[in-house]
Structure 1
């Protein structure tokens, strides 16, 4: 039964808009071939790279990374350009793509190393590059007056393809489930880093190279244990295949992996909380058998029709940092921050005002347009008894005020939606202490 849930889950994770993606890719490739090679091929000189190229992307992916190989004869023009030749290259490629997409509704702009085309539901990042003699590529970086960098995505794709075949598709499935975990919890972790660390895990634990879905509970216990043991401050990892540097960017995944490991380490197929815990880790889409849903004391029987999940409303592809905080007040006086309360294990009493607010929003820092949504979820016997589980997702502002009023373990989540995609999220728990509580919107 559990193995079927894992198998059904990975089926749900498969990319569902490949036709549209391939159509966009072919259109852009044709336009650039027309401009730079005087032919109308939809495939020559263009390559789908990134997670889609490595076949490890999941449903909801919001980026198509593509490489377009420029004529070698053009390199001297940009390399010897007076000023920033790399910027000049991006501007030229941008101008050619604008011929295909002249309307203002489709934004085309240069962004440091790529030309970004923003459609209504995802972005295409076009990286113009020149092929090196060893089969790798040099691509433009406009920063610091311009320079050329090296990339070798075909070797990464080749190694991913090998591992997918070697593991009977399970390398792909494991990478996809790690992405689902990342999106569900809400933290940044680049796709190449995901694939690289899963590759390293399978190399260190070769017994899982022949794993089936029946092994997944034990596999993910060991995978999260492996991830939580990595160095949070390690600056980079060597990518699968190419050995290029994949930067760690703070190592948020290490602490998140420890929490995931603690959530599932003691689980067996007979555990009462098995599916609750797996959904806490991988998200609400993780399939729960009907026999479990209908069990008399199952938590799933008490979820109520009002609860919503962000993945039901928007595509979810977490790419940016978001941090929410909560200020605790009593009778107008500040008691402190909720996160500090949690760290110190202090009791949070009834009749407190809780002001949740956004403390860090990387989406705003990048100048992107966005909308804010909030979710308040009550849990526990009292919430069930008086039917105050809540769980709606509502559009809001950068602040949300609630009040403590009855016992239970609860949480508040915030979501940032940009271009129709949830690109950042954060949760702050309001757990059970000596005097547990829940929140109600003040009247």
Structure 2
């Protein structure tokens, strides 16, 4: 990539002056404003950050599902749906009465693929049949769906997991969520077999719309950020759910000063998110559509702090054009999908 003194203008002739979250901890009062607090460059017309744009652009390319992985996911979904349609709807359709949810539904999946999550819509007659059960109707319903799948996949490992049936294929699993469509558009009941069983109302399309609207409003930077955070989650075994990371990333990017920038700012964008995340320990988030409150806990907070401090070092190396040293720090956070040398 051709370099020029425009880099100084692109970075507002600044560099972050924050050295560490741990000493002292970044306060909630200063928040991300402290991260953006600049110290003026003293060397004029010297290109800086020469490796950032190429590094993060390549990182994002490395995270994308390959065509074969996408085909594999669609094929596995279609096989499962065809089996269930024959059993519950009397059709052989490979897609009807189903749709992707989770990372496949929101277009935030990364490679290697994790689970493929789908809703399968059951007819109302199934709901009424299981209403005659006197104990844990939801557990019995999940078992019924599992039994239907076992006819087609007799040697494939399966298990019920509270709300889903996990079909353990060789490359990755398909998680089937049996659901009933409600009269309110976009709303569904899904099973929850815990604590004696109940139905939980969900609004999966509201979640998709939230990610899409936020991504669109922020220069299409949200989904790349989410994919990178999932790479950190996997590389560092961060005990936080992907769904929670998605919602937190959406909340963060809407107020980030770098939200409308390009790849050239992704070092600061990822670093600042980790500071934002650190301060969300023991707080709550709301699920779009249902407005369910989710408690975030703090099991992941120490990993967020460690990742932030490494990111802060990497950003300093990027500014000084120590490309390989920056890459070493980034790889401690994200793994080898992010290039060591851009």
SS for the counterpart of 1:109 is: strand
User: Are 1:116 and 2:166 counterparts?
Assistant: yes
Counterpart Cα distance in 2 of 1:212 and 1:220: 13
Partner Cα separation in structure 2 for residue 242 and residue 166 of structure 1 = 22
Report the equivalent of 1:243.
291
| Structure 1 residues 24-423: aligned runs within 5 Å | 24-102=76-154, 104=155, 106-134=156-184, 135-205=186-256, 207-230=257-280, 232-234=281-283, 236-240=284-288, 242-248=290-296, 250-266=297-313, 267=316, 268-270=318-320, 272=322, 273-289=325-341
CA distance in 2 between partners of 1:288 and 1:116 (Å)? 36
- Normalised to the residue count of structure 2, the TM-score between the two structures is 0.78
Shift in CA distance, 6/241, structure 1 to aligned 2, threshold 3 Å: farther
Unaligned runs of 5+ in 2: 1-50
Offset at 1:242?
A: 4.5
Point out which structure has higher relative CO (alpha carbons under 8 A, 6+ apart).
2
Alpha-carbon distance in 1 for matches of 2:101, 2:56: 27
Cα distance per residue 1:233-279 (max 9 Å; x no partner): 33x4213455333442x423322222222223251431533222112
Contact 2:218 2:253 (8 Å CA) reproduced: no
Q: Distance in 1 between matches of 2:270 and 2:181?
A: 39
For residues 69 and 221 of structure 1, the distance between their equivalents in structure 2, rounded to whole angstroms, comes to 41
Per-residue CA distance 1:54-99 (angstroms, 9 max, x = gap)? 1112102321111111112322221232322112211111111112
The 3 A distance-change label for structure 1 pair 161 and 70 is same
The structure where strand makes up a greater share of residues is 1
**Aligned equivalents of 2:258 and 2:204: distance in 1?**
26
Secondary structure at 1:252 match in 2: coil
Instruction: Identify if the C-alpha distance between structure 1 residues 86 and 241 changes in structure 2 by more than 3 Å, giving closer, same or farther.
Output: closer
Q: Is the 8 A contact 2:143 2:160 kept in 1?
A: yes
Q: Is the contact between residue 193 and residue 239 of structure 1 (CA under 8 Å) also seen in structure 2?
A: no
Aligned residues: 284
Closer, same or farther in 2 for the Cα pair 1:57/1:244, shift >3 Å?
farther
Alpha-carbon distance between aligned partners in 1 of 2:289 and 2:108, rounded to the nearest angstrom: 15
**Secondary structure of 1:233's match?**
coil
Equivalent residues of 1:29, 1:68 under 8 A apart: yes
Distance 1:44 1:167 in 2: 33
User: Normalization by structure 1: what TM-score?
Assistant: 0.61
Instruction: Tell me, yes or no, if structure 1 residue 20 matches structure 2 residue 63.
Output: no
Task: Give unpaired runs (5+ residues) of structure 1.
Answer: 291-443
**Structure 2: distance between partners of 1:147 and 1:241:** 20
The match for 2:17 is none
Q: Distance in 1 between matches of 2:109 and 2:285?
A: 20
Greater fraction helix? 2
* Bigger Rg over Cα: 1
In 1, the alpha carbon distance for the partners of 2:291 and 2:251 equals 12
CA distance in 1, matches of 2:227, 2:289: 19
Q: Is the 8 A contact 1:26 1:43 kept in 2?
A: yes
CA shift digits 1:200-248 (9 cap, x unpaired): 101232x333121011112122211111122x233x4213455333442
